[in-house]
């Protein structure tokens, strides 16, 4: 598997990065995890507008899904080649309604489903292209899912947005790469079931036995180096900060 960080900023885009969006590729199949603010523009650095094969939305906060409205425009109103066939979109219950409401002026109430083939995510194991994926609900104020992606004997886990969660521990169990949010700062924010800090991300990776930790979803107002140092205090494996356009072979 190849992982490309399309965007990794938390809450709102930074000067260096769009919000959460990650491209996972294997066997010619392209799966996008989330499409937050600014992600659609950055995505075009890595693949064509119409080259995605499926999209997974971890939850329906704007910094993880709002560029789906722009992607709707690109697919629905495409002139050259005609309208795109529907692309599978996996998201929490209400995803179609959320995007339709956010766009606010679709030609009809069903226009989103003319280019997006919506599938409701629940805790389960299923196939997306060549990937076997397992999803579990994690700790966030809205319905949110972490995802474990397996292919060719390798595993990638993406936390989505979450506080400390036993479900996340299991999703990250022995993962070859654990892409984990670390939006909060240890000793500063202390809001249960919302986000992890760097120390908690490191502790999760350690409990799960993950082989590599990549910290992501750090907002522009948070010092990423502090979160990195906090994670390293409690996790002995390799750990680094996600950065836009960084790629990983898994």
Residues in the chain: 250
Report the interhelical angle of 198-208 vs 224-234 (nearest 10°). Answer: 30
Provide the token pair at 226: 């502090």
- How would you write the pLDDT of the chain (250 residues) with one tens digit per residue? 999 999 999 999 999 999 999 999 999 999 999 999 999 999 999 999 999 999 999 999 999 999 999 999 999 999 888 888 999 999 999 999 999 999 999 999 999 999 999 999 999 999 999 999 999 999 999 999 999 999 999 999 999 999 999 999 999 999 999 999 999 999 999 899 999 999 999 999 999 999 999 999 999 999 999 999 999 999 999 999 999 999 999 9
The full set of domain ranges for the chain reads 2-249
pTM higher than the cut 0.85: yes
What is the fold, at CATH topology level, of the domain defined by 2-249?
Answer: Metallo-beta-lactamase; Chain A (3.60.15)
144-149: long-range contacts (C-beta < 8 A, 24 or more apart)?
Answer: 144/58, 144/59, 144/92, 145/58, 145/59, 145/92, 145/121, 146/58, 146/171, 147/33, 147/56, 147/58, 147/171, 148/172, 148/175, 149/1, 149/24, 149/31
The answer to whether 244 and 42 have CB atoms below 8 angstroms apart is yes
Q: Which residue intervals of the chain are DSSP H helices?
A: 39-43, 62-65, 68-76, 95-103, 111-115, 166-171, 198-208, 224-234
């Amino acid at each position: 598997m190849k992982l490309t960080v399309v965007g990794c900023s938390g809450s709102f885009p930074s000067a260096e990065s769009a919000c959460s969006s990650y491209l996972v590729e294997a066997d010619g199949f392209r799966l996008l995890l989330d499409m937050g603010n600014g992600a659609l523009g950055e995505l075009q650095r890595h693949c064509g507008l119409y080259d995605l094969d499926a999209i997974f939305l971890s939850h329906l906060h704007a910094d993880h899904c709002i560029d789906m409205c722009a992607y709707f425009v690109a697919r629905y109103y495409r002139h050259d080649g005609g309208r795109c066939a529907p692309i599978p979109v996996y998201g929490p219950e209400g995803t179609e309604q959320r995007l339709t409401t956010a766009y606010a002026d679709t030609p009809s109430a069903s226009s989103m489903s003319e280019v997006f083939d919506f599938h409701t995510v629940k805790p389960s194991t299923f196939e997306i292209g060549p990937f076997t994926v397992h999803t579990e609900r994690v700790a966030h104020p809205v319905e949110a899912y972490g995802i474990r992606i397996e292919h060719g004997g390798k595993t990638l886990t993406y936390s989505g947005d979450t506080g400390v969660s036993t479900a996340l521990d299991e999703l990250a169990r022995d993962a070859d790469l654990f892409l984990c949010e670390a939006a909060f700062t240890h000793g500063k924010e202390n809001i249960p079931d919302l986000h992890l800090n760097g120390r908690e991300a490191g502790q999760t990776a350690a409990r799960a036995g993950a082989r590599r930790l990549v910290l992501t979803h750090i907002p522009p107002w948070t010092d990423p180096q502090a979160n990195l140092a906090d994670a390293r205090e409690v996790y002995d494996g390799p750990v680094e900060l996600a950065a836009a356009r960084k790629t990983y072979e898994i």
